[in-house]
Structure 1
Amino acid sequence: MSYRIGIDVGGTHTDAVLLDHNYQVVAETKSPTTEDVSTGIYQAMREVIAKSGVPREQIHLAMLGTTHCTNAIVERKRLNDIAVIRIGAPATLAVKPLIGVPEDLREKLGKHVYIVHGGHEFDGREIAKLDEEELTRIAHEIKDRVDSIAVTSVFSPVAKDHELRAAEILREVLGEEIPVSLSHEIGSVGLLERENATILNASVVNVAKTTAEGFVNALHEEGIHARVFFGQNDGTLMSVEYAVKYPILTIACGPTNSIRGASYLTGFSNALVVDVGGTTTDIGVLVNSFPRESSLAVEIGGARTNFRMPDLVSIGLGGGTIVRIREDGSFTVGPDSVGYQLPQKGLVFGGDTLTATDVAVALGKATLGDPSKVAHLDRVLLEKVYAKMVEMVEDAIDKMKTSAEPVPVILVGGGSILLPDELKGASQVIRPENFGVANAIGAAIAQVSGQVERVFSLDELGREKTLELARQIAKDEAVSAGADPCTVEIVDIEDVPLAYLPGNATRVRVKAAGNLAVKADQSGN
């Protein structure tokens, strides 16, 4: 038999599941998320292994969806000492890198900023020749002063040559080990947003590395020698090597794990997914079994970026959300929460703070803790509070729908016990088995993907051959990220003609996904 562990870190709980080779849940657990994140992960891992009674040598795969990188950026902690190199003089000198980024983040990441001659026009012509001598000088200047580099060239999604050559020069001076983040591999067209995404990627390389090593070591200490994968924010997996190269792609993987888990548990490939945690409710959209992607620029830690992110609405409602009742009978719901301290602070657990969970228990909507501790509360008022909670979710559902037609709504997450079996705008409300750990299940069953987003000139190859080339690049990316070549399929393709560019230019985005390649000795026999 072959087993796999899936672990997902939420703001309140770290969830873990152990699945067999048929993806059936053998054991599940919820452990409080700890301040340093890692302790909670190891705790959940040990608990789920102990519960399952499965021999450790039969656990061959371990998947982790983590908030480490998000937290590092938001808290401005544990970031790399980076150099920011833009290839774009003289064309881009008027707008400096990190413009519009919050000052505290700019202070951390903007100590070594350079703009060198080079870059391309939107049609692939050189703006200026790449200044290789200046790059060599910069490399010598930053030696021993930085441990990660972000390189962004003007219109590199169209022509990546200058970025690739810059990386070669930097590695010649600084050694092959220096992490170099190249913008054409991370963001799409849009210089400043792509540059920000690349800078953030370069800044969390150490965090990703430490997290990966810590997780692998924790598994080894338990006697588990599994292949480790990280969840990324499109609902698929990436190898440790890939995660350390592109750590920015782990941001927002939690909600996408829940969306993928909801799809797997219900068999629905198109629906709305409402994931209620201890602190927030995240609402996303399932399209062909994958999360719908956001078409907007996304802010991370106050920096505007344009790499792919799931399309989500988050509201401040969860199991630990604090409800405040004033003397005149008016009330507020959230947005703050007691979070992972719910078992100590909630009224039904003997605490002193009225939470959304207490409201649901008092009204008989949920069975948890000691109902007698909330029996004294004014039921009529609580009905109003509960109606407000439901209304908050219904409004958010309405925002995510693309038409007035009712759609299936899948409820997942431990906090979803707060919600009723009927919601406005929902054709049906489904609460699948194992709903409380859908996020960890999503991490465990995830496929591996590869994506290409690039501007192609259709005049060169014609439309069909260009799309075929893009499909092949996406498939190759998926295989290099750890997918079994025999199972890789194209799951999404779009091409948008760019009328303002010459050469019949078209932005092509293709995504391929396949099952995890299982080594011969781990086939489940």
Structure 2
Amino acid sequence: MANYRIGIDVGGTHTDAVILDANYQVVTETKSPTTEDVSTGIYQAMRKVISHVNIPLEDIRYAMLGTTHCTNAIVERKRLNSVAVIRIGAPATLAVKPLIGVPDDLKDHLGKFVYLVRGGNEFDGREITSLDEDEIYKIAHEVKGLVDSVAITSVFSPVSPKHEERAAEIIKEVLGEEIAVSLSSEIGSVGLLERENATILNAAVVNVAKATADGFVNALNEEGIHAKVFFGQNDGTLMSIDYAVKYPIFTVACGPTNSLRGASYLTGYSDALVIDVGGTTTDIGILVNSFPRESSLSVEIGGARTNFRMPDLVSIGLGGGTIVRIQDNGEIKIGPDSVGYQLPEKGMVFGGDTLTTTDVIVALGKAEIGDPTLVKDLDKELLKKIYAQMVEQVEVAIDKIKTSAEPMPVILVGGGSILLPDQLEGASTVLRPENFGVANAIGAAIAQVSGQIEKVFSLDEMGREKTLQLAKDMAFEEAVKAGADPDQLNIVDIEDVPLAYLPGNATRIRIKAAGNLAEVLDGAGV
């Protein structure tokens, strides 16, 4: 039986879709405008790409979606769950209340039910004080019927998650098994406040993720496609629907990482700098061993400071629909605003009256889009200055993200990458692969499934070798939970950092395992 897969990725301007065959070759590709509600644009792109091919729909076995639903919900403060926030850390953490580093308007949404409970651990795993279970029971009864999601954070839970796990058992006992519970030890790394924020945001977008998943599955079913559905996550790998609904925060920033993975697949390069130019922004990231380099800094999402894993990206307001303005004093201002998906109405080459970056490259003869005669009278010298400024913006961003002065291979992807030349400062070579315009959807479709753990271990207990093996086994287990084939797993990233200030030869170990999707059995759906 043939085995096809659909990959869909939502960008700020376009939603891209591809169908790949069993050998990961592109059968067909399409672009559709991204819609305000996101879902409509996804369904339109899906129907459009299916209409391009003549294959039995039951042969489409997998569907991968990289979506901005959760990011948009946090940024727009819309459709968020009603969350109870429980921090296990009294009396040690009373001085610093939860939701520090969260903007006031988001705090208004998420700070209605906030509790501090006795418990938590020291940095070496010893209890600060025992968990106040009676208080957890009291909180559970208090919030029953008022919240539909609970975020639990305990002091040093990445070292010992026992208090969080026990609190979750009590919450489910009182509120029912179906209540969504987010544990910080499964989401963020060691720093308490940022980890707590990431957990609260995760709890806040569970309903959005569930609605997105259900909507996508139903849309596929309506077309007669009963595929196994996966979501793109922000480390460039996939997760099953159950996993995505439990950890929706991991979908944030999955679009740029899909582009990086797609760029690696299309060129065969495992280490390179990738420039993804869309209609609104240019995202620049670094490939290391075919996966996006992770940011080592805390990351803001919707203004809230968090510390869970995110790709290391530099983003600038330059894309195919970016508006170009000439000031009265002759100064050129490029963006950061864009006409976005309205480019076919507003761009000058399409008969509109807004000068965009696309009009600039068409007028200079660098691309053939729309009607070049509509921009033939523009001042060429001025256009050359604008173009030089566009390229310079990108070259400055390249310098920002590079960690050495050595030139690197650069891969250009995204529909807007036609804006850029075949030579760039800081690049040893510039590659523009076939199907570059839909690299993001290809990245979603070809992605593997991963699992990652990050914990502090005491090497004195079992020794270095056995501890590393235990950590690898835990990462493998996470990958299988997310939908990976247990027989095809590899360790793709490993990092261990000795913590000199902790007793017991403590070491922070972070391991990521990835593998191909577990094979879909005939008739298997979601």
Q: Do both proteins adopt the same fold according to a TM-score greater than 0.5, normalized to the shorter chain? A: yes
Aligned residue identity for 1:352: D
Aligned residues: 523
**Offset of residue 522 of structure 1:** 8.2
- Larger mean CA deviation between 324-333 and 305-314 belongs to 324-333
TM-superposed deviation, 1:326:
2.4
Instruction: Specify the alignment match of 2:414 in structure 1.
Output: 413
1:67 maps to 68
**2:33 alignment counterpart:** 32
1:235-246 superposed matches below 5 A: 235-246=236-247
Residues 114-133 of structure 1 mapped to structure 2, 5 A cutoff: 114-133=115-134
Check conservation: 2:4, 2:22, Cα contact below 8 A.
yes
- 1:90 is the counterpart of 2:98: no
Q: Secondary structure at the match of 2:352?
A: coil
Question: Structure 2 unaligned runs (5+)?
Answer: none
- State the partner residue of 1:18: 19
Residue 137 of structure 2 aligns to a residue in which SS? helix
Identity, in percent, stands at 79
1:498 deviation in Å?
A: 0.7
Corresponding residue of 1:101: 102
The 3-state SS of whatever aligns with 2:487 is: helix
Q: Which amino acid aligns with 2:510?
A: R
Kept after mapping to 2: 8 A contact 1:329/1:381: no
Task: Tell me if structure 1 keeps the 8 A contact 2:275–2:413.
Answer: yes
Residues 459-478 of structure 1: matches in 2 within 5 Å? Answer: 459-478=460-479
Which residue of structure 1 aligns with residue 401 of structure 2? 400
Q: Which residue of 2 is the match for residue 313 of structure 1?
A: 314
**Is structure 2 residue 254 aligned with structure 1 residue 274?**
no
- The residue aligned with 2:292 is 291
Determine the structure 2 residue equivalent to 1:147: 148
State how far apart, in whole Å, the 2-side matches of 1:52 and 1:426 are: 38
Tell me, yes or no, if the aligned pair for 1:171 and 1:178 is still in contact at 8 Å: yes
Deviation per CA, 1:21-75: give whole Å up to 9, x if none.
0000001000000000000000000000000222111111000000000000000
What are the residue-to-residue correspondences of 1:125-524 with 2, within 5 Å? Answer: 125-521=126-522
Counterpart Cα distance in 2 of 1:51 and 1:24: 15
Secondary structure at the counterpart of residue 106 of structure 1: helix
SS of match in other structure, 2:484: coil
Deviation at 1:404, TM superposition (A): 1.0
Equivalent position SS for 2:410 = strand
Q: Helix, strand or coil for the counterpart of 1:368?
A: coil
Q: Once the 2 structures are TM-superposed, how far is the Cα of residue 329 of structure 1 from its aligned partner?
A: 2.5
Unaligned runs of 5+ in 1: none
What amino acid is the match of 1:114? Answer: Y
- Does the 8 A contact of 1:11 with 1:279 survive in 2? yes
Q: Measure how far apart 1:480 and its partner are.
A: 1.1
CA contact (8 A) 1:398 1:425 kept: yes
User: Counterparts of 1:92 and 1:11 in 2: how far apart (Å)?
Assistant: 40
| TM-superposed deviation, 1:89 | 0.4
Amino acid at match of 2:225: I
Q: Which moved more, 1:431-440 or 1:392-401?
A: 392-401
Tell me the amino acid that sits aligned with residue 122 of structure 2. E
**In structure 2, what residue type is equivalent to 1:316?**
G
Letter in 1 for 2:454: E
Q: What is the CA–CA distance in structure 2 between the aligned matches of 1:522 and 1:52, rounded to whole Å?
A: 22
What's the CA shift string for 1:197-219, capped at 9, x where partnerless? 00000000000000000000000
Is the contact between residue 60 and residue 522 of structure 1 (CA under 8 Å) also seen in structure 2? no
Q: Is the CA contact (8 Å cut-off) linking 2:86 and 2:152 kept in structure 1?
A: yes
CA contact (8 A) 2:226 2:523 kept: no
Distance 1:316 1:147 in 2: 37
1:328 deviation in Å? 3.5
- 2-structure distance, mates of 1:79, 1:441: 30
Q: Deviations over 1:385-428 (max 9, x none)?
A: 00000000011111111111111000000000010011011111
Q: What CA distance in whole angstroms lies between the structure 2 residues aligned with 1:125 and 1:406?
A: 49
Q: CA separation in 2, counterparts of 1:324 and 1:522?
A: 55
Residues 151 and 200 of structure 2 are in contact (CA less than 8 Å); yes or no, is this contact kept in structure 1? Answer: yes
Q: For the residues of structure 2 that align with 1:398 and 1:160, how far apart are their CA atoms? A: 41
The residue identity in structure 1 corresponding to 2:487 is C
Matched, 1:49 2:44: no
**Equivalent position SS for 1:484:** strand
One-letter amino acid of the counterpart of residue 419, structure 2: L
8 Å contact from structure 2 (residues 272, 410) kept in 1: yes
Q: CA RMSD in A?
A: 0.9
SS of the equivalent of 1:99 reads coil
SS at match of 1:491: strand
- 1-structure distance, mates of 2:405, 2:173: 58
Structure 1 position 520, deviation (Å): 4.1
Distance 1:519 1:3 in 2: 12
Greater alpha carbon shift after TM alignment, 30-39 vs 319-328: 319-328
Q: TM-score, normalised by structure 2?
A: 0.99
Contact kept, 8 Å, 1:18 with 1:27, in 2: the verdict is yes
TM-score normalised to the size of structure 1? Answer: 0.99
CA distances 1:335-377 after superposition (whole Å, capped 9, x unpaired): 1111111111000011110000000100011110011111111
SS in 1 for 2:300: strand
**Equivalents in 2 of 1:401, 1:11: separation in Å?**
25
CA displacement 1:287-310 (0-9 Å, x = unmatched): 000000000000001111000000
Alignment deviations for residues 3-34 of structure 1 (CA, whole Å, 9 cap, x no partner): 00000000000000000000000010000000
Partner of 1:58: 59
Q: Using the alignment, how far apart are the partners of 1:276 and 1:370 within structure 2?
A: 22
The answer to whether the 8 A contact 2:228-2:520 is kept is no
Measured after TM superposition, the shift of residue 485 of structure 1 is: 1.1
Please tell me the residue identity of whatever aligns with 2:191. Answer: G
Amino acid at match of 1:400: I
Distance 1:100 1:187 in 2: 15
Give the Å deviation of 1:519.
Answer: 2.5
Give the conservation status (yes or no) of the 8 Å contact 2:149–2:180.
yes
- Give the SS at the match of 2:517: coil
8 Å CA contact 1:37–1:68 kept in 2: the answer is yes
SS at match of 1:452: strand
**Deviations along 1:227-265, whole A, 9 cap, x unmatched?**
000000000000000000000000000000000000000
Could you tell me how far 1:521 is from its partner in structure 2? 3.3
- The CA deviation at 1:486 is 1.4
Aligned-residue offset at 1:167: 0.3
